[in-house]
Amino acid sequence: MGTRFVNEPVFFTFHKIREQGEQGDAGAWRAFLGFYSPALLRLLEIHAAMRPEEASAVLKRMLVELTANGLARFRATSRQSEREFLADIRALLLDIAADSPAPKDSPAGPNGGFEADKIGKLMEDLPLLHKEMLFFKLGGYSDVTLERILRMSPRVAATAFDRLAQEYSLALHRERDVCPWPAQWLAFLKLARSLTTPNCIPAHQSVRIHDGQVSWYEKEPVENHVSGCLHCLEAWTGLREVAYWRHAADPLSSSEIELLLEIVPIEKPRAKTKSFLERLRH
């Protein structure tokens, strides 16, 4: 697998990756792949139930789309914060995964799958935190990882989880983070992202609330909207996901990063040619 990164290079921040990546800088793209590919691959393993080789193929397709036409899609991503940027990348990645033939559902799938009205009814009259936990459970998260993401014991939502017992029982008591119904779940996430309204919440507002940077007066109407909007609930939980996996996912080896870098249409620096005397010494 090659040498693994222990510490990230301090000379590349998100804003430098975003700015210099747009200019086609190879170092910035190498940092992008080192920093963010582990989280993206983990999301594919969970939501799409993909094996590593399948996830790698989808990640490569995403890089092609992200960098096509003069990096047009990359240029359209958020410049505001790393989490907003990663949420944009996550949406693109999961859309591509939804169109992949790889995800295979469990035969014991729910009747009718994940229609918006059905999921809305499933979460009806629950507090926002419990809706978040149900959302993550449907996505295949174990209690252990769910507690790490939300920093709250899933036991607080035990009554809400009872609603899963009839049709979504495979989402309960999971020891491994992987969705039992990846094809249906990915299709639902794609649908939820399309259900935007004029009142939907900008990502930066959700980030500020997650960071505790707003007053209750500002927070309450936003959380009330998120609680009743599948589009915003999907975005809200997605921001929590990328914030967690950005640092929790296992790093890639340097050789794995270099292979992914070959997908990016930028000019790679040529290897330094040894002088005649250097060649004689060897």
Q: What is the pLDDT of residue 7?
A: 46
User: pLDDT at position 79, please?
Assistant: 93
Buried b or exposed e, range 112-121, using 16+ CB within 10 angstroms: ebbeeeebee
**Structure tokens that stand for 82 in this block:** 């790393």
- The pLDDT, as a whole number, for residue 110 is 74
Cα 57 from Cα 27, distance rounded (Å): 23
Domain range enclosing 146: 14-267
Cα–Cα distances in Å, from 281 out to 123, 240, 272, 275, 277? 71, 55, 16, 10, 6
The predicted structure's pLDDT at residue 279: 52
| Cα-to-chain-centroid distance, residue 157 | 23
Residues 184-188, mean pLDDT to the nearest whole number: 94
**pTM recorded for the entire structure:** 0.88
With respect to residue 9, please indicate whether it lies within any of the assigned structural domains.
Answer: no
**Listed residue (188, 193, 201, 200) closest to 118, CA to CA:** 188
173 falls within a domain: yes
DSSP assignment, residue 164?
Answer: G
Q: With respect to residue 276, please indicate whether it lies within any of the assigned structural domains.
A: no
Q: Give the confidence band of 3 by pLDDT, cuts at 50, 70, 90.
A: very low
Mean pLDDT of the chain: 90
Segment holding 14, helix H or strand E:
helix 14-22
Residue 256 maps to a domain: yes
Say how far apart CA 282 and CA 280 lie, in whole Å. 5
Indicate the pLDDT class of residue 245, thresholds 50, 70 and 90: very high
- Quick one: which of 169, 173, 167 has its CA closest to 154? 173
Q: Do the domain assignments include residue 281?
A: no
Residue 54 within any structural domain of the chain: yes
Q: Give the dihedral of Cα atoms 59, 65, 68, 69; nearest 10 deg.
A: -160
What pLDDT shows up at residue 119?
Answer: 94
Question: In this structure, are residues 140 and 11 in contact, taking their beta carbons and an 8 Å threshold?
Answer: no
* DSSP, residue by residue, 204-219: HHHHHHHTT-S-HHHH
- Does any domain span residue 274? no
- Residue 4: band (very low, low, confident or very high) from pLDDT cuts 50, 70, 90: very low
In-domain check, residue 2: no
Q: What total number of domains does the chain contain? A: 1
| pLDDT tens-digit series, residues 160-177 | 999 999 899 999 999 999
Pairwise pLDDT comparison (271 vs 241), residue with the higher score: 241
Mean pLDDT of all residues in 208-216: 91
